[in-house]
Structure 1
Amino acid sequence: MHKKKAELIEFIADIKTKKQIEKEIQTRYTIYEELVDTDTIAFLLVDELGRNIQSITKIANLTPNGDHTVIGRVLSISEKKTFKRKNGTPGRVINLEIADDSGTCRLVLWNGDID
């Protein structure tokens, strides 16, 4: 079923404000010379930002070394740990336990991904 612009905006409303999204949609609508409707442009934005619902992987279906997009909720967050690498540079790590309707898993974030 074809999703409408308002539904699609909800998939990315945590990445950009609704005002920013609406502005981007209108900008592209003008660029595309009104040949593409705003629902389609919203779908393109969702896809570009990695939130295409058709490309979402359930936690139970995660595979090693895969590139996955997961939507779930955070159950717990460990304390951030800092450490020194063998080369003497500092590093940071934090663990999150996340869940969706298919299961739970640990998500490990390193360095810049923590911020």
Structure 2
Amino acid sequence: MPILVQLMASSSATDVENTILLLMRCRQFQIDGSEACLRKMLPLVFSQDKSIYEAVENAFITIYVRKNPEETAKNLSNLAIDSNIGDLASLEFLIGALMSKGDLTSSTVCNL
């Protein structure tokens, strides 16, 4: 897992995108440490590279956003717990972006 975290800091967008996809697969199979590693992708939302931003946004939607607003709010609240200030800023940015696109509703955010 530490090597995958290092790969998310790669200068190659392809490395970063593939690492995020691999971590999502690891999380799906409940591999130890994958959830913590995926949290480290949050600051990448500020990347100047559009493909990295899209990879983070897509992973975020896949992992945390559900059709049920209460479940989504619970997922986002759990994500915010024990997050540092940088992760919280990233989370705020992602929520704002997803709300402007209609992927998150105001009722979901009100449930936070």
Bigger proportion of residues as helix: 2
Which TM-score applies when normalising by structure 2? Answer: 0.21
TM-score of the superposition, structure 1-length normalised?
0.20
Which structure has the larger Rg over C-alpha atoms?
A: 1
